[in-house]
Amino acid sequence: MTDIPVIYFLWVSAFLFATGLAILLLKKNTIFVLMGIELILNAANLNLVAFSKNEPSLQGLYLSIFVLVVGVCEMAIALAIVLQVYRNYRAIEVDQFKSEY
């Protein structure tokens, strides 16, 4: 059985990273921006998994599990902050957060 070359995974992860970056810059809704950040995190994760594919000590796989945990924590905290910001400003778009003072 042949193996899938590492470079294929790298191409997919480069595409995901670029798409996440474009979403980050393009969208104004905060939740949309967070989804772009998730795409970037997952692109990095795919790189780690691809490089530990044929490596016996599996270090990349362990690191990617911890990246997954940290990504979930980031998402939970960020959505809580978005909720609180929405309560204070009645706005969800990044260019509408203006101080009244």
Please state, in angstroms and rounded to a whole number, the distance separating the CA atoms of residues 36 and 45.
14
Please state, in angstroms and rounded to a whole number, the distance separating the CA atoms of residues 62 and 22.
29
Using CB under 8 A as the binding rule, the residues of this chain from 17 to 76 that contact other proteins are: 17-29, 31-32, 34-35, 38-39, 42, 45-46, 49-50, 52-56, 58, 61-62, 64-66, 68-73, 75-76
Residue with tokens 């990349």: 60
Token pair recorded at residue 36: 């772009």
Q: Which residues bind other proteins (CB under 8 A)?
A: 1-12, 14-29, 31-32, 34-35, 38-39, 42, 45-46, 49-50, 52-56, 58, 61-62, 64-66, 68-73, 75-77, 79-84, 86-87, 92-93
